[in-house]
Amino acid sequence: MSLFELSMFQRIAIAIVIVLFISSIVAMIKGWAGRREGLIWITVWLVAGVAILWPAVTSRIAAALGIGRGADLVFYSAVVVMMLGFWMVYIRMRRLRREITLLVRHLAILEAGKDPAGADRDATKAESPEKTPKANPWQKRSKAPPQH
Amino acid sequence: MAAPRERQGETGHTELSSSDRLRTYVVVPAYNEAACIGEVLSGLVAVYPNVVVVDDGSSDDTYAVAGGIVPHALRHAVNRGQGAALQTGIEYALKCGAAYIVTFDADGQHRIEDIAALVGPIAAGECETTLGSRFLGETIHMPASRRFMLRLAVLFTRLVSRVPLTDAHNGLRAFSRRAATQIDLSMDRMAHASEIIDIIRRSELPFREVPVQIRYTEYSLAKGQSVRDGIRIALHYIVSRVVR
C-alpha cells in the first residue's frame, strides 16, 4: 500500500491521528499525563489509525459481530466510548464538588475562630454588636435582597 | 446529667434549664436571608445564647446582619448548598463543646418555643435525636400544593429509607452530641434531609418525632421548594445513593 493509494480523507485523518499519537507519547514520557491515561489515549489513536488505513478490518469485525457495515461498528463504539467518558467526567466532577465543600467548610470554621465576630466572643458576654463583619469579599454585591 | 426540668403534660411543652439552654447550639443555615434573618436571630439568641449562623456564600448582607446579633457567625466562601452549611454548623458546634445541637431554618417558619420540646426528650435521656413534624403538629397557612408535595416526600422517604416518619423535610431537628458526631452529610444540597434520616437509621440511635408548628408566610413560601425542585431533589438523592 503506497501513500498515493489513500483517499483525501484518509490522508488528512491519518496526519491528525499521527500528531495526536506522538503528543500522547510525549505527554506520557514527560509526565504531563498519568501512565494509565497515556496508555488509554495511545490505544485509542492506534485503533483509529488502523481503522483509517485499513477500513476493511472494521468491516470484518463488524460482520463477525453481526453488524452490517464497518462504519456502523465505528459509530456504535464511538457512542459507547463517549458515554463512558461522560460518566467518568461526571464522577470526577462530583468528587471535585465534594472537595470544594470540604475546603470551604474548613475555611469557614478556621475563620470563625479568628474573626472578631466569631467564636472568640463568648456567648455569655457577647454584647458588642458594633463589630459587624465585612460583607463577603468573594461575592460581587450586585443583586439586591428579595423584596417582601 | 442536668439540672431540674419541669414537664407540662404530654404535648412535650418542656422548659429547659438555663444550663441546658447554654449547652444547646442552634445551627441556622442561611442563604440570602438578610431581609428576614435579623428578627429570627434576635428571637433565638434571647433564649439560646449559642446560635451558630452559617452564611452559605450569600450575595446580600446576611453575614453582616448575623454577625451583629449572634456570637457565632460562619461564612462559606462560595455557595455549597444547605446540606453543606448544616454540616459546617454541626461540626463547628461540636468543636465548641455543644451538648445538644438544633437545626433551625432562617426564614422564620419555625417557632422558638418548639426547640425546648425537641431538646427536652434528649436532655431527659429518652432518645438521641428528635425530628420536628408539622403533620403531628399544627400548621398555619399551608397551601394545598405544598401539603401534597410534602406528603409525596414523606412517601418517598418511607420507601427509600424505610423509616416510618410523618414528616420528611422539616428543618427543625435536635441531636445529642453523640448523634451529631454520627452526622456526616455528603449531599450538599437539599437531599440532605433524606440523608439525615438514613444516617439516623444506620446509627441505630433512638429517635422520636415531635409535633412542631410551622408558620407559612409569603416569604418562607417564596424561599421554599417547588414541585420541580422536589423532583430534582429526589433524583439527586437517588444518584447520590448509587454513586459514592
Helix (H, G, I), strand (E, B) or coil at A104: helix
Phi, psi of A115, rounded to the nearest 5 degrees: -60, 140
Bridge partners of residue B72, in order along the sequence? B52
Do A109 and B74 count as a contact with CB atoms less than 8 A apart? yes
Window from A5-19, A112-126, B60-74, B137-151 with minimum mean pLDDT: A112-126
Helix (H, G, I), strand (E, B) or coil at A127: coil
Judge whether residue A142 has pLDDT over 60: no
Whose CA is closest to B160, among B125, B197, B208?
B197
* Nine cell digits for residue B69: 446579633
Burial class, B202, CB count within 10 angstroms (exposed 0-12 / middle 13-18 / buried 19+): exposed
Window from B6-10, B189-193, B199-203 with minimum mean pLDDT: B6-10
Confidence band, pLDDT 50/70/90 cuts, at residue A19: very high
Phi, psi of B62, rounded to the nearest 5 degrees: -50, -45
Domains plus CATH for chain B?
13-242 (3.90.550.10)
Average pLDDT score, chain A: 78
Phi, psi of B226, rounded to the nearest 5 degrees: -85, 175
Report for A83-97, B29-43, B138-152: range of highest mean pLDDT: A83-97
Helix (H, G, I), strand (E, B) or coil at B52: strand
Q: What residue has cell string 431581609?
A: B35
* 3 state SS for B200-236: HHHHCCCEEEEECCEECCHHHHHHCCCHHHHHHHHHH
Judge whether residue A120 has pLDDT over 80: no
B225 in reach of chain A (CB within 8 A): no
The confidence score (pLDDT) of residue B150 equals 76
Do A132 and B68 count as a contact with CB atoms less than 8 A apart? yes
Interface test with B, best of A92, A94, A105 (most B CBs within 10 A): A105
Q: Please list, residue by residue across B105-119, b when 16 or more beta carbons sit within 10 angstroms of its beta carbon and e when fewer do.
A: bbbbbbbeebbbbbb
Confidence band, pLDDT 50/70/90 cuts, at residue A126: very low
Q: Using alpha carbons, list the distances in angstroms from residue B83 to A114, B103, B185, B194.
A: 24, 11, 7, 10
A-B contacts (CB, under 8 Å): 117
* 3 state SS for B76-145: CCCCCCHHHHHHHHHHHHHHCCCCEEEECCCCCCECCHHHHHHHHHHHCCCCCEEEEECCCCCEECCCHH
* pLDDT tens profile A58-78: 888 888 888 888 888 889 989
Distance CA(B222)–CA(B220), nearest Å, equals: 5
Whose CA is closest to B227, among B143, B104, B170, B159?
B143
Average pLDDT score, chain B: 81
The confidence score (pLDDT) of residue B137 equals 65
Distance CA(A99)–CA(A79), nearest Å, equals: 30
Whose CA is closest to B208, among B171, B150, B164, B153?
B164
Q: How far is B121 from chain A (nearest CA, A)?
A: 24
Q: Using alpha carbons, list the distances in angstroms from residue B233 to B6, B46, B190.
A: 40, 35, 6
Find the CB nearest B73 among A109, A118, A142: A118
Find the CB nearest A105 among B59, B68, B88: B88
Segment (H or E) for A53: helix A35-53
B61 in reach of chain A (CB within 8 A): yes
Instruction: Report pTM.
Output: 0.72
The answer for residues whose C-beta is within 8 angstroms of residue A96's C-beta and 6 or more apart is none
Distance CA(B76)–CA(A138), nearest Å, equals: 10
